[in-house]
Structure 1
Amino acid sequence: MTGPETRPVTGTTLAEVAREAGVSIATASRVLNNSTKVSAEAYRSVCDAASRLGYRRHRAAWGKAHRKMPAIAAVIHAGHHMLFTEPFFARFIGAAELELAQFYIPLLVTSVTGPLIETVGRYLQGGRIDGVIIVSDHGPLPLSGSLATLGLPIVVVGRPLHTSPVSYVDADNRGGARTAVEHLIATGRRAIAHIAAPPDTGAGADRLAGYRDAMRAIGAADTPIAYGDWTQASGVHAMQRLLDQRPALDAVFVASDVMAAGALRCLNRAGRRVPDSVALVGFDDHALAAQVRPALTTVRQPIEEFAAVAVRRLLAMTRGEADDRGGTVLPTQLILRASA
């Protein structure tokens, strides 16, 4: 059901969006009001139709009348346990807060999954927020698809896997992963496995693609892969699966430093010396990479620069000075330490 808060800014109506998407008006309304009670296919169809037709919702008048200062929201598309255990989020949020502090603008942070998506969407729609940074957007129902209809400036951190009308900032995950595996190859390793991140994330998919690029270049037919979920425990389990399946492996490229720390624990427990028996390379260059023993060779992604670029682009959008589409890809760097 639509009301004053969901009237389109353009002349496009909800009925036109529903007709374009091939769904009922009720289904289109549920999607555009961030309800989770729709199928993934209907969700994508409605968001694509709304984007093509230029459908945008008005923000509520309450916020315009009563808000005394601007505010930016960082919406982390992950469970709260990841928000407090994955170092990427803490570094990004800290850097974004510092960037915004120069302009006396607060950063409001929330993590969302499942039913909370609808609640957060309604809050953002209320006129209290001037722009949104979405971090770790993923899965069959990405936040960027529904939030793009709110009429707010949006920047996504990480390449969206699905077609999206919003701007994004990302690292060269594919190139960085390829460089990491090429380093292992250059040191004489050939039986190289990969502990991959969830493939429904842009970073996970791109780092997996980079691993495969490098292995394909040397004609490797055997590319053993085990999947983790960004946690250290999943790195332990994935490494054990790889050792069980490929006991002769001599190197592992891991899609994150946190999972690599878990892989290192597993290798030590199995009596496989790093790097003599198995070389190990991670990705991110978190503080953890220099703290483990042996210190972890890894790919550095510029997280603080992510935050600065995302904030500056978002603020430019709020002033009408920047296009709200397109992506910026920042370079990565291989950091050599003792593990490979």
Structure 2
Amino acid sequence: MRTTPRRQPTLDEVAARAGVSRTAASRAINNNPHVSQSKRDAVQKAVQELGYVPNPTARALATRRVGAVVLAVSSDEPALFADPFFAEVTVGVSSFLEETDLELILLLAHTPRGTDRLQRILASRRADGLMLMAVRGDDQLAHLAQRTDLPVVFGGLPLHGTPRWYVDPDNRGGGRLAAEHLLRGGRRRIAMITGQVDLQASVARERGFREALALAGASLSALEAGDFTVDGGEAAMERLLAAHPDLDAVFAAGDNMALGALRTLRRHGRTVPRDVALVGFDDLAGAPHADPPLTTVHQPARALGREMARMLTDVIDGQDPSPLILPTRLTVRESAPGDQP
């Protein structure tokens, strides 16, 4: 009598027996550092109970790791470390990687020297993957990402093209929220301060803002470009007041620019929000402490960092995660409370 060969258990069955995800089971079996001890123990027990035997070829590929990932930011050092948004993103990345034991390499790639250093790291495969932040339209970082065979996750969409893996706030939706709020408050002579025109976040926030105005039969009275800094917002607000002294509302596409605009408005004797309502974007830690506290579009900067790191580790482990859009929401404070002026 012929005996039917015993079917080998699968990785999915091991994961189900251990009560963990397939990814966590794979990490534990391949001795990857980014898995908790409790999950590792549960997977090991399931392997023994089921008699699971890992595929040696797949295991060899999975364990060929350096143990480090790169977070590359298209910014110079003073701008980066003065910007609370990037600090929050970095904290998010770091907090997730602390659970994995992967090392984080933070690289400022705004200068040719920084770009060359990143190129050397990628060419020598001293990292298992790469996260890119604040990639501009003509940025060399985007070209490096296209040429490397390492996994690359974008924090925010680049201006041109759509990468395979990215995490992005809903910038367009956030711009719509800002316009709708100002219109509900009865504001009609509305201006906007944008960020750098070669950043997708700037383009998307302006597009959403204009769309909401147009849908309500309103129009944008004036537009000035800033650079996501306090000084840039201050200078842009000076130009707006000189050309359009009757403005009754301003949307600044970043909290830092909104704080600069607030400084200018105060210097010119404009009361916020009685004379001019002001809305920012980011909801950074300083927003509630402004005078008056800043109404702003909240984007989850720390969650953006965590989800970038999570997505990259999934790709490193052989998964193919879908791109992720994080929701934005309006945080209403005294600078634009929403009542009639």
TM-score band by shorter chain is: 0.7 to 0.9
Q: Which residue of 2 aligns with 1:98?
A: 95
C-alpha contact (below 8 Å) 1:144/1:156 kept by paired residues: no
Q: Which residue of 2 aligns with 1:72?
A: 69
Q: Give distance in 2, aligned partners of 1:132 and 1:322.
A: 15
When the two structures are superposed, what TM-score results if normalisation uses the length of structure 1? 0.77
1:339 pairs with one of 327, 331, 335: 335
Q: Give distance in 2, aligned partners of 1:127 and 1:278.
A: 53
Q: Give distance in 1, aligned partners of 2:190 and 2:146.
A: 41
| 1:289-300 matched pairs, under 5 angstroms | 289-300=287-298
Q: Which residue of 1 aligns with 2:225?
A: 227
Q: Give distance in 1, aligned partners of 2:302 and 2:225.
A: 27
Give 1:94 deviation, angstroms. Answer: 1.1
* Amino acid of the structure 1 residue aligned with 2:326: L
* Residue deviations 1:134-172 (CA, integer Å, cap 9, x gap): 011113135123223211110000111111444111011
Give 1:69 deviation, angstroms. Answer: 5.0
* Amino acid of the structure 2 residue aligned with 1:96: V
Q: Give distance in 2, aligned partners of 1:240 and 1:162.
A: 32
Q: Which residue of 2 aligns with 1:176?
A: 174
Give 1:220 deviation, angstroms. Answer: 2.8
1:248/1:121 Cα in 2 relative to 1: closer, same or farther (>3 Å)?
same
Q: Which residue of 2 aligns with 1:312?
A: 310
Q: Which residue of 1 aligns with 2:257?
A: 259
1:133 pairs with one of 131, 134, 158: 131
C-alpha contact (below 8 Å) 1:176/1:333 kept by paired residues: yes
Q: Give distance in 2, aligned partners of 1:174 and 1:240.
A: 26
Task: Find out whether 1:111 has 2:108 as its counterpart.
Answer: yes
* Amino acid of the structure 2 residue aligned with 1:209: R
Q: Give distance in 2, aligned partners of 1:138 and 1:312.
A: 23
C-alpha contact (below 8 Å) 1:121/1:147 kept by paired residues: no
* Residue deviations 1:9-64 (CA, integer Å, cap 9, x gap): xxxxxxxxxxxxxxxxxxxxxxxxxxxxxxxxxxxxxxxxxxxxxxxxxxxxxxx9
Q: Which residue of 1 aligns with 2:4?
A: none
1:287/1:224 Cα in 2 relative to 1: closer, same or farther (>3 Å)?
same
1:239/1:149 Cα in 2 relative to 1: closer, same or farther (>3 Å)?
same
C-alpha contact (below 8 Å) 2:66/2:126 kept by paired residues: no
Runs of 4+ deviating beyond 4 Å: none
Gaps of 5+ in 1: 1-63
Q: Give distance in 2, aligned partners of 1:147 and 1:69.
A: 19
* Amino acid of the structure 2 residue aligned with 1:329: I
2:323 pairs with one of 301, 322, 327: 327
User: Partner of 1:74: helix, strand, or coil?
Assistant: strand
Give 1:105 deviation, angstroms. Answer: 1.1
User: Partner of 1:334: helix, strand, or coil?
Assistant: strand
Gaps of 5+ in 2: 1-60, 337-341
Give 1:181 deviation, angstroms. Answer: 1.1
Q: Which stretch of structure 1 is more off in the superposition, 107-116 or 262-271? A: 107-116
Q: Give distance in 2, aligned partners of 1:92 and 1:162.
A: 22
1:167 pairs with one of 165, 169, 186: 165
* Amino acid of the structure 1 residue aligned with 2:112: P
Q: Give distance in 1, aligned partners of 2:273 and 2:194.
A: 20
* Amino acid of the structure 2 residue aligned with 1:328: L
Q: Which residue of 1 aligns with 2:207?
A: 209
Q: Which residue of 2 aligns with 1:188?
A: 186
Give 1:93 deviation, angstroms. Answer: 0.6
User: Partner of 1:107: helix, strand, or coil?
Assistant: strand
User: Partner of 2:146: helix, strand, or coil?
Assistant: helix
| Matched-pair identity in % | 40
Q: Give distance in 1, aligned partners of 2:169 and 2:162.
A: 18
Q: Give distance in 2, aligned partners of 1:249 and 1:68.
A: 57
Give 1:210 deviation, angstroms. Answer: 1.3
Q: Which residue of 2 aligns with 1:240?
A: 238
User: Partner of 1:287: helix, strand, or coil?
Assistant: coil
1:92/1:222 Cα in 2 relative to 1: closer, same or farther (>3 Å)?
closer
* Amino acid of the structure 1 residue aligned with 2:81: F
Q: Give distance in 2, aligned partners of 1:337 and 1:267.
A: 17
Q: Which residue of 1 aligns with 2:16?
A: none
1:222/1:253 Cα in 2 relative to 1: closer, same or farther (>3 Å)?
closer
Give 1:68 deviation, angstroms. Answer: 8.1
C-alpha contact (below 8 Å) 2:251/2:279 kept by paired residues: yes
Q: Give distance in 1, aligned partners of 2:66 and 2:203.
A: 39
C-alpha contact (below 8 Å) 1:212/1:223 kept by paired residues: no
* Residue deviations 1:268-299 (CA, integer Å, cap 9, x gap): 00000000000000000001101111000000
1:146 pairs with one of 134, 144, 147: 144
When the two structures are superposed, what TM-score results if normalisation uses the length of structure 2? 0.77
1:179/1:222 Cα in 2 relative to 1: closer, same or farther (>3 Å)?
closer
* Amino acid of the structure 2 residue aligned with 1:301: Q
Q: Give distance in 1, aligned partners of 2:254 and 2:94.
A: 24
